[in-house]
Amino acid sequence: MHIGFLGLGLMGEGFTRRLVELGHEVRGFDPRPERRDAATGWGVAAAASPAEAAAGAGLVMTCVTTTDDLEAAVFGDDGVAAAIGREAVLVDFSTTVVARTREMAGRLRDTAGAGWVDAPVSGGPPAARGGGLAIMAGGTDADMATTRPVLEGLAASLVHLGPVGAGQVTKMVNQVCVLTNFVVLAEALNLAERGGVDGGKLIDALGSGYAGSNLMRAMWPRMIERDYAPAGYLRQVLKDLDMVHDLAHDLKAAIPMSTQAAELFRLMAARGHEELDGIAVLKLFTGEPV
């Protein structure tokens, strides 16, 4: 399939490499010329604008930073809406604001006749590269039928959760579960180390009980090693948690644990660590320089 792709950062690279390997023709756009140039090295044809990326594509996929960036790419000058076909579907992998996602999907259908599937993901760049993502999708049955064959090549799990916006709501729930647990794990490791327990043995000790989890197995070893490589930027964590809080406000839902976690991440960012991985919140508990 001919696919237009917007956003060639870390996640976008993983996505497009995978798509090319699966045999799709990918035309990609990124506002950074160096990213467009780099993508040609793994088989992506460079587009000079979102409209050029979208022209003639059966699917247009977006992986951008903010909801404002997405709206500009779709509806701005030389945007996707000017070139997307009436039978095409836009698939948004970004984490975006639920209400605005729904508004933009309706607007694209009204102005261009194209469909929209919101498909935020969990798993990070390695999973995008290897087809191991969890994809949480929202859209009509017809739009899902169009996109499913391609999405299944990117996903370890793909669940259609309901109409447009349902994927974004589920992503917000995912962020509550994951990001608040970064803080819980940091507190737990701090307690273990101060108590003289080898953190490396705790995974086996706790693994068969309720405390053990996939998240712990993935994050705990990196916390032990202080592996704070920027695989998940703190600034991205804060963006996502801010959206969680906006959704909770709209739904009149209380999320005190997530609110406290967000304040700790915000403190880390204010101290100059916004480009570190979110698990670096451990620094606040251990006395490491922050």
CA-to-CA separations, 139 to 5, 91, 93, 101, 236, in angstroms, rounded: 19, 9, 13, 11, 25
162 - beta bridge partners? 138
Chain segment 187-239, per-residue pLDDT in tens:
999 999 999 999 999 988 998 899 988 889 989 999 999 999 887 789 989 99
Residues 6+ apart with CB under 8 A from 140: 115, 163, 164
Has this prediction a pTM greater than 0.85?
yes
Q: What would the two tokens of residue 154 be?
A: 């990117």
Chain segment 238-266, per-residue pLDDT in tens:
999 999 999 999 999 999 999 999 999 99
Q: What is the mean pLDDT of the chain?
A: 95
How many Å apart are CA 176 and CA 83, to the nearest integer? Answer: 37
Total residues belonging to the chain: 290
Judge whether residue 133 has pLDDT over 90.
yes
Q: Label the pairing between strands 45-46 and 25-29.
A: parallel
% the chain with pLDDT above 90? 90
How many Å apart are CA 154 and CA 133, to the nearest integer? Answer: 6
Element holding 121 (H helix, E strand): strand 121-122
Chain segment 79-115, per-residue pLDDT in tens:
999 999 999 999 999 999 999 999 999 999 999 999 9
Mean pLDDT lowest for which of 81-90, 123-132, 139-148?
Answer: 123-132
Q: What is the DSSP string of 151-179?
A: HTTTEEEEEEEESTTHHHHHHHHHHHHHH
How many Å apart are CA 250 and CA 253, to the nearest integer? Answer: 8
How many Å apart are CA 95 and CA 104, to the nearest integer? Answer: 14
